[in-house]
Amino acid sequence: MMYERGFGALANCFRGAGFMRGGLGGVLMILVVAAVVIGLVYVTKKSGKGKTDNEALNMLKLKYAQGDITEEEYLKRKNILQ
């Protein structure tokens, strides 16, 4: 038949011909999606907020130890950071 369901020549492109034959395309797609998800998780954990908070808290402790801020100011800022 010349035309299959109105797609004509494009009908063969979507019926498992070429790269998608044998499920290889589906496996490749799953691997690509998994790699993207793993990459995003790695990047977000590496640049996480926890490290910044620890640095800020350490700087606050240092200022208090040097006498630059009072105990009241130290406790107030410490509560804000935590």
Give per-residue pLDDT as tens, 15-41. 555 555 556 777 788 888 999 999 998
Q: Give the predicted TM-score (pTM) of the model.
A: 0.38
Q: Which residue would you say has higher pLDDT here, 66 or 12?
A: 66
Residue 12 has pLDDT above 70, yes or no: no
Give per-residue pLDDT as tens, 32-82. 899 999 999 888 877 665 555 688 888 999 999 999 999 999 999 888 887
8 A C-beta contact, residue 60 and residue 77: yes
Query: What pLDDT was estimated at residue 13?
Result: 52
C-alpha–C-alpha distance, residues 81 and 64, integer Å: 15
For residue 2, what are the contacts with CB-CB under 8 A and spacing of at least 6? 8
* Domain boundary assignment for the chain: 1-39, 48-82
